[in-house]
Structure 1
């Protein structure tokens, strides 16, 4: 049973190749987007836009201020 599991997972170990991505043989890279001067490179397509990684805001208060009373901040029952 162990050997069968090992042999079934062995091909997965080989699929982590480290080399630049290239289009498959006989196919072309994606065409340039509308109103773009050139097609994006592989690195540009793999880099997430800034919208996908928003900046984290820790707290909306910038200075040491008293917080307003919160009518929904009730003690537990």
Structure 2
């Protein structure tokens, strides 16, 4: 009984700690500077620009749904494993 209560208390404490994040403007640590501007770029990006995920890292999905069952075509790369 005490063990269950301890696990429950730790779970509630973990949830409470995970929900206490603070959202504010990002600034570099005192005495530190932002990284230099990328090669070929005139302006220096701010912290929010540096945290944006580029399109190539997270492309949009194109999900093509099939209306009805269809046999798959021959796949030349579907080879048996080599021993």
The TM-score by the shorter chain falls in which range? 0.5 to 0.7
Tell me which residue corresponds to 2:26: 21
Structure 1: which 4+ aligned runs deviate by more than 6 Å?
A: none
Unaligned segments of structure 1, at least 5 residues: 73-77
In the TM superposition, residue 24 of structure 1 has moved relative to its aligned partner by 0.5
Give the number of equivalent residue pairs: 63
Pairwise CA RMSD: 3.8
In the TM superposition, residue 50 of structure 1 has moved relative to its aligned partner by 0.6
Contact 2:26–2:48 under 8 Å retained in 1: no
Tell me which residue corresponds to 1:35: 40
Structure 1 counterpart SS, 2:48: helix
Counterpart-to-counterpart distance in 1, 2:40 and 2:53: 20
TM-score, normalisation: structure 1: 0.55
TM-score, normalisation: structure 2: 0.52
Report 1 or 2 for greater relative contact order, CA contacts < 8 Å, sequence distance ≥ 6: 2
